[in-house]
């Protein structure tokens, strides 16, 4: 079982980023982790930060990499076939079994949020942001691992 979510990473290169609700230029990164191990399994290709979750899931390559493996996500992925929490219909209460499912869903989902918190402290993500949009971007010094962050769609 896998756990997926996306996060916005601020970037200075406006040619690969878009403004989102917070008015910052950022890229959207889809990350898939093992639900029990919390190890990163897939990091999708970065997309402009204004992509919604459903589009980002398909366009980043995360969907293709995961295949048919059961994947738990937040409520932003309707119609994707992924495991989402149950929503209450207007004027109706959720049955007890749906409340119980949502509770366990929430407990598993905290894993991916903790992974994001750790990843956002990495110097690698901060240093792989070009200061300005240029015709050629320079990879991070001593770190070829960040090259995929600079790929253009």
pLDDT at position 146: 43
The yes-or-no verdict on residue 151 having pLDDT over 70 is: no
Q: Residue 129, exposed/middle/buried by CB under 10 A (0-12, 13-18, 19+)?
A: buried
What would the pLDDT profile of 121-130 be if each residue is shown by its tens digit? Answer: 776 665 555 4
How many angstroms separate the CA atoms of 97 and 21, rounded? 35
Residue 66 backbone phi and psi in degrees, to 5: -75, -35
The yes-or-no verdict on residue 95 having pLDDT over 50 is: yes
What would the pLDDT profile of 36-82 be if each residue is shown by its tens digit? Answer: 887 888 888 888 878 888 888 888 888 888 888 888 888 888 888 88
Residue 98's contacts (CB-CB under 8 Å, 6 or more residues apart) are 86
Average pLDDT, whole number, for the chain?
75
pTM score over 0.75: no
Domain ranges within the chain, ordered by starting residue? 2-133
Contact 37, 48 (CB under 8 A): no
Residue 132's contacts (CB-CB under 8 Å, 6 or more residues apart) are 12, 13
Residue 45's contacts (CB-CB under 8 Å, 6 or more residues apart) are 59, 60, 61, 148, 151, 153
Among 120, 101, 110, 116, which residue's Cα sits nearest to residue 10?
Answer: 120
pLDDT at position 97: 92
What would the pLDDT profile of 15-36 be if each residue is shown by its tens digit? Answer: 767 776 666 778 888 888 888 8
């Amino acid at each position: 079982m896998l756990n997926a979510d996306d996060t916005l990473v601020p970037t200075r290169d406006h040619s690969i980023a878009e403004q989102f609700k917070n008015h910052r230029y950022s890229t959207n990164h889809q990350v898939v982790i093992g639900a029990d191990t919390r190890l990163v399994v897939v990091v999708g290709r970065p997309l402009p930060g204004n992509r919604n979750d459903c589009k980002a899931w398909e366009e980043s390559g995360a969907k293709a990499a995961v295949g048919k493996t059961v994947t738990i996500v937040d409520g932003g992925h309707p119609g994707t076939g992924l495991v989402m929490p149950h929503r209450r219909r207007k004027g109706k209460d959720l049955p007890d079994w749906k409340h119980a499912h949502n509770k366990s869903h929430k407990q598993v989902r905290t894993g991916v949020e903790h992974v994001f918190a750790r990843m956002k402290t990495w110097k690698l993500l901060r240093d792989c942001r070009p200061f300005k949009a240029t015709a050629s971007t320079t990879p991070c010094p001593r770190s070829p691992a960040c090259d995929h962050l600079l790929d253009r769609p």
